Amino acid sequence: MPHKPGQSRNLWRLLLGCLLCCSNLSQAQAQSLQPGFQLNEYLEMLRITAMQVDTPHRHKLPPPQDFKRQFRSPEYALDNNWELWTNASQQTMVVSIRGTTGKSVSWLENFYAAMIPAKGSLQLNDSTTFRYTLAADPKATVHIGWTLGLATMAPDILSTIRKQYHAHQTRQLIIMGHSQGGALSFLLRSYLYYLQQAGELPADLRIKTYCSAAPKPGNLYYGYDYDHITRNGWSFTVVNALDWVPETPFSLQTLKDFNTLNPFTDVTKSFRNQSWIVRMYLNSVYNKMNRRSRKAQETFSKQLGRNLSRQVKKALPQFQPPAYANNMNYMRAGVPIVLMPDPSYFRQWPDSGTSVFRHHGLVPYYTLAQAIYGE
């Protein structure tokens, strides 16, 4: 039976509507954050970071292509700073955290490297207490200096994220930081996750994190926790294999740093079947190693904790230093993306000379990432 003209028009309208719907759906899907390391995404994050030009290593990179800066924070007590960037559709926002600056207080934040529990509170002044959860495991510990840096910025970052979420329905967030900014990005990601778990941040906010050239943020159990909460490809630590910064802070493992069930906590039990001469020798060696590692840990905590806290109080006069953890077992966190230099890299950035930040800058990272993942 032949179609009537009106029926044909309605059919075409229906088909056109379906095509438009599919097109919009495809566009939305293309813009949504996806798990996994994405080269173009990481390069855009580096371009955003380069716009925070008051870092000590100024480099020229192309301007960001898909994002515009919406907000730049003031400088906080330890000279931290962050920016908010959004794409044209306001569907995705970026919190970009600045790295170490040339000011001594910024370096002090790095060197203030004693560890504190990953759940607790910091008394910033007489009226401000920063309560935080950065890991669920009670054995997890984190860097006091960077946790303090997070504490100064967190209220403003949270307020801005919430405003963007409610005003523009922005439900996708990328956290980005290079160097010290990368270390702070680890802690911010953990902080936001546990706020979501507590119902204090929208559960449907999707978060992806790039920690570029980042130092180690906490101990092994913090790393385990971080990798668990960002599993399935939602956080990456990008490292130039020649860069020394990701090798810091100093790390020391003692017998206390093992899981409960291990053969080292009381290894002397295994000596009982030996002759008394062998038993005395082995006990002596074991006790010396145990005492010396504990003594080294105590020295680290004293020098990088209690002593440096006096300098921190010059920037935060009412800050009350917390009790430090008996731990200095720093480990990496996040899925590693290792940028391995090739001969062409060495021609441009030889591994010699007096410039200790030669392999740490944005341009070497940008160039290596393109060379390795752009193929």
Residues in the chain: 375
Q: What is the pLDDT of residue 155?
A: 98
| Residues 342-353 pLDDT 10s | 999 999 999 998
pLDDT tens digit string along 89-131?
999 999 999 999 999 999 999 999 999 999 999 999 999 999 9
**How far does CA 1 lie from the centroid of its chain?**
67
What whole-number percentage of the chain has pLDDT above 90? 73
Per DSSP, the three-state class of 188 is: helix
User: Which of 18-22, 173-177, 229-233, 242-246 is predicted least confidently?
Assistant: 18-22
- Among 189-198, 199-208, 292-301, name the one with the lowest average pLDDT: 292-301
How many whole angstroms separate alpha carbon 188 and alpha carbon 118? 12
Give residue 27's pLDDT.
Answer: 41
With cut-offs at 50, 70 and 90, classify the pLDDT of residue 9: low
| Alpha-carbon distances of 350 from 58, 87, 213, rounded to whole Å | 19, 37, 18
What's the gap between Cα 185 and its chain centre? 3
User: Residue 132 and residue 155: Cα distance in Å, rounded?
Assistant: 12
Please tell me the predicted confidence (pLDDT) of residue 21: 44
Q: What is the pLDDT of residues 241-285, one digit of tens each?
A: 999 999 999 888 887 888 877 766 666 666 666 776 766 766 676
Q: Which pLDDT score is estimated for 300?
A: 80
Q: What pLDDT shows up at residue 88?
A: 94
